[in-house]
């Protein structure tokens, strides 16, 4: 998709930035485009324990023919090229899933990525502590201490993680990744730390759908919290009580 390849436009991120500026968060760096950062300005302590970042996905605005979020994520983090890997070995930070209710015939299409659980099973099982949850709720793999045991992939109910099956070259500067470690959606931490929002959110808006809303779940006044109160969205496998940070409206 053409509009996805171009960097998210400045106006696309406007409201988030101003809202965060109001909160007094000085920007650590000026992000010109994904991965392109001017190293200037003061340091910011970004992972804020008073926040919990999450997503609300409006599946009624999502379409099975569209994969703008997937394409944009692949370009942002440099995982679109599967190289020699078979399809079932290919990197998969986010995927589009089609759901059909056999009883009613109703269908829905939605992206599934790391659900950024409050009680993430991957973190519990990781032997080295490489899987961890940041203070602001983002679940990550510290790939400096990941030994590639893949137990987290066994434990994740969402199949959100993938293993890097072969040597990687040409990584994006802002998103290092390499063979033998496990990776997943990182909610675009680099962008979030710079006051931005995940690239999938912008790509979805760029595709004219605006089905993904990003924001602070712990702030009752945030747009995402208000919408969640309004539409009472569902969460995938809520019965497992993992308190996921990704909500789905309309399923």
Partner 1 sequence: MTGVRTLLIALGLAAAAVTGVLAAGEGTAPSPAFRQWPGECVADAPFMRRNHMDLLKHQRDDTVHGGIRPANHSLNACVTCHAVKGDDGHPVTVADSRHFCRTCHDTTAVRVDCFSCHTSTPGVAK
Partner 2 sequence: MARTKTAFATLDSRSSRFVRIAGLLAAVAAAGGAAALYMEHEGHVVTGMNNQIVWGLPHVFAIFLIVAASGALNVASIASVFGRTVYKPLAPLSGLLAAALLAGGLAVLVLDLGRPDRLTVAMTHFNFRSIFAWNVLLYSGFFAIVGVYLWTMLDRRMNRWTSAAGTGAFVWRLVLTTGTGSIFGFLVARETYHSAVMAPLFIAMSLSFGTAAFTLVVSALYRIEGRPLGDAVLGRLARLQAIFVAAVLYFVVIQHLTVAYTARGGALEAYLLGGPYAPMFWFVQILAGTVAPLVLLLRPEFNRDRRNRLLAAGLVLLGGLAQVYVIVIGGQAWPLELFPGREVTSAAFDGTLGSYDPTPAEFLLGIGGVAVSLLIVAVACAALRFLPESLADAAVDPHHARADA
| Window contacting ligand HEC (CB under 6 A); options: 63-71, 95-103, 171-179, 226-234 | 171-179
**Residues sharing a CB contact under 8 Å with residue 75, sequence separation 6 or more, in sequence order:** 4, 5, 199
87 binds, among partner 2, partner 1, ligand HEC, none (CB under 5 to 8 A by kind): partner 2
Neighbours of 112 (CB within 10 A): 19
Tokens of 103: 């009883």
Minimum Å gap between C-beta 70 and partner 2 is 9
* Measured distance CA(47)–CA(63) in Å, rounded: 33
Compute the distance between CA of residue 9 and CA of residue 42 in angstroms, rounded to an integer: 24
Q: For the chain, give me the number of helices (H) and strands (E)?
A: 8, 11
Helices 68-77 and 199-206: crossing angle in degrees, nearest 10, is 140
Nearest approach, Cβ of residue 123 and ligand HEC (Å): 16
Q: Is 84 in the site for ligand HEC (CB under 6 A)?
A: no
Name the segment binding partner 1 (CB under 8 A); options: 62-70, 170-178, 198-206, 222-230: 170-178
Helix (H, G, I), strand (E, B) or coil at 176: coil
Q: Which of residues 184-213 bind partner 1 (CB under 8 A)?
A: 189-190, 192-194
- Interface residues toward partner 1, by CB under 8 A: 28-29, 35-37, 39-47, 132, 134-136, 140, 142-144, 167-168, 170-174, 176-179, 181, 189-190, 192-194
- Interface residues toward ligand HEC, by CB under 6 A: 143-144, 174, 176, 178, 181, 189-190
């Amino acid at each position: 998709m053409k509009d996805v390849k171009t960097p998210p436009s400045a106006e696309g991120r406007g409201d988030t930035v101003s809202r965060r500026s109001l909160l007094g968060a000085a920007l650590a760096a000026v992000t010109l485009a994904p991965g392109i950062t001017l190293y200037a300005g003061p340091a910011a302590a970004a992972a804020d324990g008073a926040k919990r970042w999450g997503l609300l996905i409006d599946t009624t605005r999502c379409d099975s023919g569209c994969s703008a979020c997937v394409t944009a994520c692949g370009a942002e983090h440099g995982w679109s090229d599967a190289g020699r890997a078979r399809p079932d070995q290919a990197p998969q930070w986010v995927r589009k899933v089609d759901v059909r209710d056999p009883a009613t015939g109703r269908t829905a299409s939605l992206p599934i990525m790391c659900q950024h659980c409050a009680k993430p099973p991957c973190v519990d099982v990781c032997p080295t502590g490489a899987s961890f949850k940041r203070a602001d709720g983002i679940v990550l793999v510290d790939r400096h201490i990941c030994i590639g045991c893949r137990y987290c992939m066994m434990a994740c109910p969402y199949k959100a993680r993938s293993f890097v099956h072969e040597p990687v070259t040409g990584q994006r500067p802002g998103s290092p990744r390499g063979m033998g470690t496990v990776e997943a959606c990182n909610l675009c931490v680099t962008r979030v730390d710079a006051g931005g929002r995940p690239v999938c959110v912008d790509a979805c808006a760029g595709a004219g759908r605006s089905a993904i809303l990003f924001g602070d779940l712990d702030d009752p006044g945030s747009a995402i919290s208000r919408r969640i109160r309004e539409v009472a969205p569902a969460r995938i496998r809520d019965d497992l009580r993992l308190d996921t940070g990704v909500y789905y409206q309309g399923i």
